[in-house]
Structure formats: C-alpha cells, structure tokens
Amino acid sequence: MTFLYKADPNRGATWKKLLAREMPELPFRIWPDIGNPKEVRILATWQPPLDLTTQFPNLEILFSTGAGTDQFDFAAIPPTLPVVRMVESGIVQGMVEYVTLAVLSQHRDWRTYQDQQRAGTWQAHPVRPASSRRVGVLGLGNLGRAVLDRLHAFGFSCAGWSRSPQQIYDVECHHGPAGLQALLARTEILICLLPLTDSTRGILRKRLFDQLPHGATVINVGRGGHLVQDDLLRALDAGQLSSAVLDVCDPEPLPPEHPFWSHPKVVLTPHIASMTQPETAVDAVIDNLRRYRQGLPMIGLVDRARGY
Ligand code: GLV
C-alpha cells in the first residue's frame, strides 16, 4: 500500500516527514515518483491525473489537498471511490483571520481613512457599534460556522444561510430559496463561503445584489465561479454595493486588463485567504485513515449527489 502525494513538492516533503512519524509503516511517495502504480492505494492531490483509474487501478481513497473538490472532474472518478475534502484546523484559522480582517476593515471604514490620509484629510466619521452591523454568511459548513463564531464574539449581528436547516447559538439561521431572500434583506456585509456546485454557480449576481440593502459589501472567499463579474461591476458603479473583497476569481489570475485590478471599490487578493497547513492537514489525514480502517465514516467525505 502506497500513499502518493501529487501537489506542491515542498509541502509534500513536510507531509512525508510528518506521516513518517505517525505511520512509519506507510510508504509515502511524491509525484512524479509514483513507484509501482498498482501499489498506490491513497492519493492526496489538488488535481488528479487525467487517467486516474487506468493509472492507479487499486486506488482506495482520493484526498483533496484543499477545502474544496470543485476542481475535480467527477466524471473521471469512479463513483465508488471515496473522495474526501480537507477539513483541518489550519484552513479554518486562516479563513477566520481573513474574513475578520475584511469585515473589521469595512466596519471601521479602513479604506476611507487610507484615502483620507493620502489626501491629507483629518476627519473622523461616526463609529457604529458592532451590534448594529448586520453580517450574513452564505454557507454554514465548518468554515462558515467558525467565521460566524468569531464575528459573534465581536458583537456583530450575525445571520447565516444554508441549503438545509441549521441551528447555531445566537445566529439567525435561514435556509432554502425563501430563506435566502430573508437573509439578504437584513445583511450589510455578505460573506460567500459556499461550496461551488451546479446550484451555487453564479449565485452572486444582480438578482442577489438587488436584494441587499443599498451600499452593502460583498466578500467572496468561496470560488470565482460563484460571482457574475459584470453584475458586480454594475452594482458597484451604481452604488448598490459600496465595495467588494475578492480572494477568488475566475480565471485565476485575472487577465492584466481586467477592471477588478484597479477598481477603487474592489480589494483583490490572490486566493490566499486560507491555505492547507501541512502539520494540521496530516493530522486530519491520519485521523481519516484510522477511521477508514475501522470502517467509520471519514471526516469531509464528499456526497456526490450533493456535490460537496
Ligand atoms: C482553497 O481554496 C482550498 O480549497 O483549500
């Protein structure tokens, strides 16, 4: 049985060291050094090879090295092969930091003060209590919940939306198509933390922006495919949205002439909100391998019908 890692080789070297400590009996290889392909039972990758099944006929588990699996072509993955998303505390911590930074910057008018500094303007604006600032999160998976937990600690008025009903202490939870309308109507800062599926692709579009209060902010830390870019530009230019923070886009990177690069109301970062941390990722993988061996469900196992 071989564990094959096919992603950034420098990070792979750390995976190798950490796994060797916990599971010294498990042979670990880093792509392209695949050894005997018939021996490969576990593959951890961001992007599987195109001929996955012919190349590795005895594969038992496919781990994504990232939180999402939308980059996988599921048509090329046998339906019986377990696919597992990366659920690990390093990703959660990074996401909580990034979203908190974006929300607080918006809440405390950071961009306005930077503009004022450059213009030599000394002018204070009223500070609104966090409790009066209505923040809403789309997607109540482990990332959405962790973000809400931290924002709630700052005192923000928090709400969330998910496909199916959820309950979170002190968070107004909405679900389903009707619930989305209710969430948007009360949300001044909207955070997208949804998985990218057929039903969420393009969800950040005109119809959604129009349902937010005038001057709302959108933070997209999901996937570029969630956003209809032209609709965002129009909503910003019309003032329906006051700003957007985008950590993801489609394609990545955007072409040099794309208007988001220089738009005064857009903050664009290069998909760095959150990154898998080898130390905690390896712990999560080991935990899942133990679960698998004991016949227990793995954490982050993808439900193909649901799409995440
Ligand atoms: C990054 O976007 C990830 O899926 O981990």
Q: pLDDT, tens digit, for every residue of 240-276?
A: 999 999 999 999 999 999 999 999 999 999 999 999 9
- Mean pLDDT (the chain, rounded): 97
Ligand 1 atom at shortest distance from the alpha carbon of 71: 4
**Domains in the chain, start-ordered, CATH in brackets?**
2-88+276-293 (3.40.50.720), 91-268 (3.40.50.720)
How does pLDDT run across 29-43, given as a tens digit for each residue?
Answer: 999 999 999 999 999
Q: What is the pTM of this model?
A: 0.95
Q: What's the pLDDT score for residue 10?
A: 95
Both tokens of 187, joined, read 């949300």
Q: Which of 50, 51, 14, 7 is nearest to 32 (CA)?
A: 7
Enzyme catalytic residues: 223, 271
Which are the contacts of 222, defined by CB distance < 8 A and separation ≥ 6?
A: 138, 139, 192, 193, 194, 195, 196, 200, 248
Q: Choose the residue to mutate in 70, 250, 276 for probing ligand 1, maximizing ligand atoms within 8 Å of C-beta.
A: 276
Q: Assess whether the C-beta atom of 67 lies below 6 angstroms from ligand 1.
A: yes
Q: Can you tell me the distance from the alpha carbon of 163 to that of 16, in angstroms, rounded to the nearest whole number?
A: 38
The rounded distance, in Å, linking the Cα atoms of 254 and 270 is 10
CA of 223 from ligand 1 middle (Å) equals: 9
Alpha-carbon separation of residue 9 from 14, 245, 278 (angstroms): 9, 30, 12
Instruction: Give the HSE-up count for residue 280: Cα atoms under 13 Å, Cβ half-sphere.
Output: 14
* Percent of the chain at pLDDT exceeding 90: 99
Ligand 1 and 276: CB distance under 6 A: yes
